[in-house]
Amino acid sequence: MSDHEPSSSMRTPMGRVRHLGAAHAGTKHFWHQRLTSVALVPLTIGAVILVLSLMGRNHAAVVQILGSTAVAIGLLLFVLVSAYHMWLGMQVIIEDYVHDELPKIAMLMGNTFFSCAVALTAVFAILKLSFGL
Amino acid sequence: MAEAKTSAKNRPLSPHLQIYRPTMTMMMSIVHRVTGAALYVGTLLLLWWLIAAAAGPNAYAGVQWFLETVIGRLILFGYTWAMIQHMLGGIRHLIWDTGRGLGPVEREWLTMATLVGSVGLTVIVWFIAYLMGGFR
């Protein structure tokens, strides 16, 4: 229990014992969702046109274009910002629909694992295309 | 403890989806969430394509074959539309975040614009990709 809790506090006795309150991070999730969404507008337009324009081309041409510096940097930005944005978004969906504690925590963990795996795999593939290892 | 849990489940709930008349803004709000979730899963297709390209010609031939089937093409077209719809829906939310476009006429107009815009832009983007040498 906090020692600067006034005796006239509006907190319930159970609330005092649990000692949970505002996490002081209330707007961070909202703000990062907006921040990434603004960044994703030009990145998405570029990525969609790039990927579609490569459809039907042979492997050598695709590797050459994806591995070129400007395209690789743009694509890296797109996948990293996308992975963060979708991690934030899926977290909201899970919190809206999954109310039981254990499945909720399991799914939030799964969301983090999946989003990190997507980001890392895409980054690895793009770097491999660039450096030709 | 078990008793507390049961009584929590029996609490009256506030009215939900089924009692409201469906409106355009409501439907497109749902579409925004559904497209977001679909794009989340859709990253697996993008990953498959990227890994295959990085792995070599044989692996790339596999993903290329799939994307050239009718199903593959439909998925790719749906993926493009979902991406653009979610982007335009997001822009609409950014406009709403500034406090603009929330009036009864503007919000309906904005919402219709995202739907018409996403279908139109999907066709335009595929056409641009074709002009840039894609799909041949």
CB distance from A30 to chain B under 8 Å?
no
H or E stretch including B100? none
> In the A/B pair of chains, how many CB contacts fall below 8 A?
100
- Two tokens at A100? 């039981």
Give tens-digit pLDDT for B15-55: 777 788 888 999 999 999 999 999 999 999 999 999 999 99
How far B80 CA sits from the closest chain A CA (Å)? 7
The 10s digit of each residue's pLDDT in A20-39 is 777 677 789 999 999 999 99
- Residue A93 within any structural domain of the chain: yes
Segment A121-126 mean pLDDT: 98
Has residue A19 been placed in a domain?
no
Task: Please report whether residue A12 resides in a domain.
Answer: no
What is the CB neighbour count within 10 angstroms for residue B9?
A: 7
pLDDT of residue A93: 97
By Cβ distance, the residue of B43, B53, B84 closest to A66 is: B53
CATH classification of the domain holding A61: 1.20.1300
What are the helix and strand counts (H, E) for chain A?
A: 5, 0
| In-domain check, residue A22 | no
Given a contact cutoff of 8 angstroms between Cβ atoms, the answer to whether A124 and A93 are in contact is: no
Domain that holds residue A83: 28-131
pLDDT tens digits along B100-116: 999 999 999 999 999 99
Kindly state whether residue A17 falls inside one of the protein's structural domains.
no
Helix orientation angle between A101-131 and A69-97, rounded to the nearest 10 degrees: 170
What confidence score (pLDDT) does residue A119 get?
98
Q: Kindly provide the ipTM of the predicted complex, given to two decimals.
A: 0.87
Chain B interface, mutation test: which of A14, A53, A82, most B Cβ atoms within 10 Å? A53
The nearest alpha carbon in chain B to A50 belongs to B129
